[in-house]
Amino acid sequence: MIVNLAEGVQIVSFVILSLMMVCSALGVVLLSNIVYSAFLLGGVFISISGLYLLLNADFVAAAQILIYVGAVNVLILFAIMLVNKREDFSPIANRWVRHVSTALVCAGLFALLGTMVLATPWSLYNGPTVTGQSSVLEIGKHFFSDYLLPFELASILLLMAMVGAIILARRDYIPEDLIPRDMGTSTASTLPERPRELVSAISETPRAR
């Protein structure tokens, strides 16, 4: 998918996406509600994917949505909502010193980046429009030709992680003879489970009826 927009549309789209990204990033840092911050973090990721689309990087934009918005941001929201722990923080002495030092560091980084942007000689391309195949097609060709072995190894690694997560989630179905004896001595890191007698009684009740 090659995006060829007029120069005015590109500038307007860039300004809108940049404002969305900056405002969402400020909301992530400044808001006290962590749930709102997590949602605004998703807005930052979506704005970045829009900037990737303006650069004709459709694969990177799709990966940004799928990985960061669909996986990382959703995982953060699940962790926040599952924990749901409210804690009153005690006041810190000389808290304003930390605020001032943080503001100075942020201002210094902003001034450094702004100076680099203004000092860089940005040259505009005035040649003919370059048209070609989509980057998704090119990456797919390399995945299934030059980088087939690393791609398959990564798939096997993800499959092993998924099987391990399923086994850990369904521990009540593991036979007792496969559980090491030393695991029964320490119960500090184990989760409470239903007793096996209760599980067997529930499973045998329909048969008795």
Spell out the domain ranges in the chain. 1-84, 147-178+194-209
Q: Can you tell me whether residue 189 is helix, strand or coil? A: coil
**Higher-scoring residue by pLDDT: 32, 191:** 32
pLDDT of residue 24: 93
CA–CA distances in Å: residue 175 to residues 30, 172, 183, 206 = 51, 8, 14, 23
Per-residue pLDDT, 182: 54
Statement: residue 142 has pLDDT above 70:
yes
Residue 5 has pLDDT above 50, yes or no: yes
Looking at residue 58, its amino acid is: D
Mean per-residue pLDDT, 80-87:
69
- pLDDT band at residue 199 using 50, 70 and 90 as cut-offs: very low
Which one is the CATH code of 1-84: 3.90.25.10, 3.20.20.80, 3.40.190.80, 1.20.120.1200? 1.20.120.1200
Between the two ends of the chain, the Cα-to-Cα distance in Å is 62
CA distance 53 to 6: 14
The alpha-helical segments, DSSP class H, found in the chain are 7-30, 34-54, 58-63, 74-83, 95-119, 135-143, 148-169, 196-208
**Residue 204 pLDDT > 60:** no
Query: Is the pLDDT assigned to residue 107 strictly greater than 90?
Result: yes
Percentage with pLDDT > 90 across the chain: 21
Under the banding of pLDDT at 50, 70 and 90, the label for residue 162 is: confident
Residue 50, pLDDT score: 92
- The predicted structure's pLDDT at residue 188: 46
Q: Model confidence at 207, in pLDDT bands (50, 70, 90)?
A: low
pLDDT greater than 70 at residue 82:
yes
Selected residue with higher pLDDT from 203 and 101 = 101
Residue 45 pLDDT = 93
Question: Pick the residue with more confidence: 111 or 201?
Answer: 111
Confidence check: pLDDT of 203 > 50? yes
**For residues 46 and 66, what is the distance between their CA atoms, to the nearest angstrom?**
10
- Residue 209 pLDDT more than 50? no
In this prediction, residue 191 carries a pLDDT of 47
Global pTM?
A: 0.58
Look at residue 150 and tell me whether its pLDDT is greater than 90.
Answer: no
